[in-house]
Structure 1
Amino acid sequence: MVQIATSKKCVLVQGNFDVLHPGHIRLLSFAKACGDQLVVAVNTDSAMAVKSRVSEQHRLELVNSLECVDHAFLTGDTAEKIVEQLQPYAVVKGKEFECRENPELDALKVYGGKLIFGSGEFESNAEQYIKKNNRVASNLDFSEVQEYAKRHSILPSSIASTLNQVKQLNVLVIGEVIVDEYIQGTAVGMSQEDPTIVMTPNKTEKFLGGAAITAGHIKALGAKSVSLFSVIGNDDAGEYTKEKVLKYQVDAQLFVDSTRPTPLKTRYRASNKTLLRVNQVRQHKIAKELQRDILEKITDVITSIDLLVFSDFNYGVLPQPLVESIAALCHEHGINVVADSQTSSQVGDISRYHNMDLITPTERETRVALNNPDDGLVILANKLTNRASPKNLVITLGDEGIFIHVPDHKHNSWENDRLPALNRSAIDPAGAGDCFLAASALALSVNASPWEAFYLGSLAAACQVGSLGNTPLSLNVLEQAISESFK
């Protein structure tokens, strides 16, 4: 082992760091806060049980690129032996190791060292811990996506073939439609009567959101035909939805329910910042009679579709019996099924979508579904896959990118990877998840590898957040980004 001059409060972390993801960065930043010097032991290729896609030297370089790491070295030694040699003040491990056997504990007890378990805390932005001189200063940063493409053998020719095959797909999207209203204005100041921000509106724009924009993205990205099944109210927002969906060239099957308004979300913005959002929604489940009507209509067209997308905003359009009936119908006919279930101001449960080809929860949605605030990303992913049995899982991490969890059939296990957020100057995050789901689901439906599907999804999301408002992403824009990413 390399000789290291350590301080009195040296903290040691050991691991593979196969693909450096935000969960690693959070643990390492936590470890740094436990002492005044952080030393990281990176396992060599020969010491790993499963061969890594990333060479040991590159894994070492990535760990060394973190501002919180003072020193990192490669090792083939056990944790006990490293502790005996370094005698660190503390060893830090993930919370998931707390109930397991920890061999290094005996070596620590010899001299009074500590064993500390870090939780899955996720309030901080992991990107702040990456050394800034390693980042490319541009709106779309392709430095890491190029490495990702290399380790998964993704080629321009395979991407082109995938996009060409997508043109043969017939897709059905079901879920809540949402009308997003943006009221742009100038912040005048603070009211003298009460602590209220005062703004003067000068521009109002409306966009179609929810399941409707997911359908719009899928059509704009090249699908042959797209059908939208949803429920609207007898109101102006419902009429706007009908008009807009036609412009997206989406075949809409919109069921009217007079007991519930069409969801309308109004954002008041000044200087590219949202000051307030007002939601006009109701969250009661649609009536059983309406559920039967929707299921009958889907049954009539099921043999003509290749992909079904659940776009669930948890406002009551997709009660569990309806979800289970539709999913069973799709599995019976060999149709790909993907799902997204949002937990924001409302509460959802992504784990109720069983046996999907892909689910794409946020980290918060994953933790809410599992009632788990502690575990790291890898353990969270394992637990969610055990509960919901998806074929592929992507946990979206906002401006930290995505964490990928897919089957490794060769080793009868799951493989993890990550992609960063590619757009470093996002104007409006609305629609990033919709666009990611749309592009990824289309690629998976034409038998692209999961790695390629999520590569496309990440590029699509990066393009989407570059402008205000959630509007269908042009295939030309995505193709241009793909071309630039391979340069």
Structure 2
Amino acid sequence: METKQQTLARLNELKQQGNSLCFVSGNFNILHPGHLRFLLFAAEQADVLVVGLYDQHDSLGAYFGNEERLLALKALSCVDEVIVVNGDRLDVLATIKPDVIVKGKEFSNSHNPEQEIIETYGGRLVFSSGEKLFSSRELIQRQLRENSELSQKLQHYHDRYDISREKLQQFLQRFSHLKVAVLGDIIVDEYQECLAIGMSQEDPTIAVSPLESFCYLGGAGIVAAHGASLGADVTFFSVCGDDTHSDFANHKLDEYGIRSVIKTDSSRPTTHKLRYRAKDKTLLRVNQYRRHDIDASLVDDFAESFAQRADEFDIVIFADFNFGMLCPPLISKISQICHDKNIPVVADSQTSSQAGDLGKFKNLLLTTPTEIEARQLMQDDGSGLIEVSKGVAEKLNAKNVMVTLGAEGVLIRHLNPVSGVLDTDNLPAFSDTAIDTAGAGDAMYVTTALMLASGASIWQAAFMGSISSAIQVDVRGNIPISKQAVHNRLAEIL
């Protein structure tokens, strides 16, 4: 590894040749999607991107050494130069005089000592965390291809967190000893497969011909079904309308071996989502639903039914699809019972096609928002993933936060009980192709929750959750994930 003076000399030469420099700094212990978005943005601001890598001794929680992190950064095609800095970071800036310094959006209202230096020569200080919702998967894959040996060394997630096929299978076997309560909205998902005929000649409308129709149990119902199929003893609490979709949902719950407490509310239809699809693509979705909260009498009925069974539950799973079942009064009553009986609670609130409020849940073992849901909760559209996920953990008093990022995988934050800070890691998506992404988050969520309830660490739990998510996206519609499917996928990966 070359000396700092050699790197500084080369940077000075690049400046003399007319190249502009952009400088960023950080510990970059684990290169997660948030880092990649930030670095890609910074690389666009100048000809040469220089990364100031904090010395390991000055980097809280950095368990990789300087050389390992430096080489990992250099493996990224957007990074041109890396220099290790510590207490001399400002001196380095004064020496190389970068044209642009980029810092995360969260620093915009803080004191920034770089400002005084950059003003002396007319540079710019820019605050940005990069493009949100940017898929950096291609960049990650290119990094792995270009430096596979090093990447394997640095991506030893398995070694860091005691992950082996045998260990994960032990936790999977413990699922059969778990008693789980799932509360949330039932949805009946219908898929109308169509033959695409072409474009209508009368107006610019796609014309299709219907083929087969398939119905699936969705919403919190499939969360309960995943849990039961994976071996847990599940009791499901939900509400349905007085209609044929309710009959279908109750039939499927019986088929999947789920004990259910289903109450009828004639003021609402059973939520029904009809997807028109052609060649594995959804063309249109038609939702039939009501979103008003269940009334006070139903809240009391559910709370009483839950209280009668609460002593048997090892974990409570809130699966909120924002169709009125999990209203604040019911959440408050159930949460209080769980608090009194020391039952761990996990919560997820989906807002894919309707407004939701993850903030109505508190004191959680786990929450798994998408990036959009996390940003909506924090009302923060500009900060980086690390800052946003930290806000989610603090606002919900959550011990574990997993921000799901689609093709970019998942960002994992864990409140370290010793240091009191949030540890960070991430996992890539385990599926290269997806037939149907609907339900991937549900599969990850319930599997991760069951792993935690079985005594696994969040890192082990997230790994298993990612496996379930990959299994789910490889099939059309919501099909309960089986233990055997998980065993098979584990054998492929580990």
The reply to whether TM is greater than 0.5 is yes
RMSD: 1.9
Q: State, as a whole percentage, how many aligned pairs show the same letter.
A: 38
Alpha-carbon spacing, 1:9–1:366, altered in 2? closer, same or farther (3 Å):
same
Could you state the TM-score of these two structures normalised by the residue count of structure 1?
0.94
Match of 1:457 in 2: 465
For residues 403 and 465 of structure 2, the distance between their equivalents in structure 1, rounded to whole angstroms, comes to: 13
Stretches of structure 1 that go unaligned for 5 or more consecutive residues are: 137-141
**Equivalent residue letter for 1:474:** S
Structure 2, unpaired ranges of 5+: none
Q: Which residue of 2 aligns with 1:389?
A: 397
CA distance in 2, matches of 1:37, 1:379: 27
User: Residues 143 and 432 from structure 1, CA distance in 2 versus in 1: closer, same or farther, beyond 3 angstroms?
Assistant: farther
User: Which residue among 232, 240, 247 is the counterpart of 1:232?
Assistant: 240
1:30 corresponds to:
41
Match of 1:189 in 2: 198
Q: Which secondary structure does the structure 2 equivalent of 1:130 belong to?
A: helix
Please say if 1:122 is aligned against 2:112: no
How far is 1:43 from its partner? 2.1
CA pair 272-404 structure 1, distance change in 2 beyond 3 A: same
User: Could you tell me which residue of structure 1 aligns to residue 76 of structure 2?
Assistant: 66
Match of 1:44 among 30, 52, 55: 55
Shift of 1:295: 0.8
Match of 2:189 in 1: 180
User: Do structure 1's residue 470 and structure 2's residue 481 form an aligned pair?
Assistant: no
Which residue in 1 is equivalent to 2:144?
134
| Paired residue secondary structure (1:111) | coil
Cα deviation 1:172-230 (Å, max 9, x = unaligned): 1110011111111122111121221111121211111111100111111121x111111
Task: Give the superposition deviation at 1:71.
Answer: 2.8
**Counterpart of 1:317?**
325
Find the counterpart in structure 2 of residue 215 from structure 1: 224
Alignment of 1:90-109 (within 5 A): 90-109=100-119
Q: Is residue 212 of structure 2 the alignment partner of residue 203 of structure 1? A: yes
Are 1:20 and 2:31 matched, yes or no?
yes
Check the 8 A contact 1:38/1:69 in 2, yes or no: yes
Question: In the alignment, which residue of structure 1 is the partner of 2:454?
Answer: 446
Equivalent residues, number = 479
Deviation sequence 1:294-324 (CA, Å, 0-9, x none)? 1111111111111111000001111101101
The Cα offsets for residues 374-404 of structure 1, whole Å up to 9 and x where unpaired, read as 1111111221222110121111111111111
Give how far 1:61 is off: 3.1
1:127 deviates by 2.0
Rounded to whole Å, the distance in 1 between the matches of 2:329 and 2:432 is: 41
Displacement of 1:63: 2.2
Q: Is the 8 Å Cα contact of residues 145 and 485 (structure 1) preserved in structure 2?
A: no
Q: Does 1:342 align with 2:344?
A: no
Matching of residues 416-431 of structure 1 within 5 Å:
416-431=424-439
Q: Is the 8 A contact 2:68 2:154 kept in 1?
A: no
Q: In structure 1, the residue corresponding to 2:156 is in which secondary structure?
A: helix
Q: 1:386 to 1:255 in 2, by over 3 A?
A: same
Q: The residue matched to 1:243 in structure 2 has which SS? A: helix
Asked if the contact 1:177/1:230 (under 8 Å) is kept, the reply is yes
| Counterpart position of 1:139 | none
Q: CA deviation at 1:144?
A: 9.4
**Contact map agreement 1:146 1:485 (CA 8 A) in 2:** no
Cα distance in 2 between the residues matched to 1:220 and 1:85 = 62
Quote the residue 1:294 is aligned against: 302
The amino acid of 1:36's aligned partner reads D
Q: C-alpha separation between the residues in 2 aligned to 1:144 and 1:422?
A: 19
C-alpha deviation, 1:123, in angstroms: 3.5
Identify the residue that residue 278 of structure 2 maps to in structure 1.
270
Within 2, Cα distance between the matches of 1:470 and 1:79? 52
- Structure 1 CA distance, aligned partners of 2:434 and 2:76? 23
**Partner SS for 2:211:** strand
Question: How far is 1:479 from its partner?
Answer: 1.5
The whole-number CA distance in structure 2 between the counterparts of 1:109 and 1:246 is 70
The CA deviation at 1:160 is 2.5
- Tell me which of 2, 8, 20 is aligned to 2:19: 8
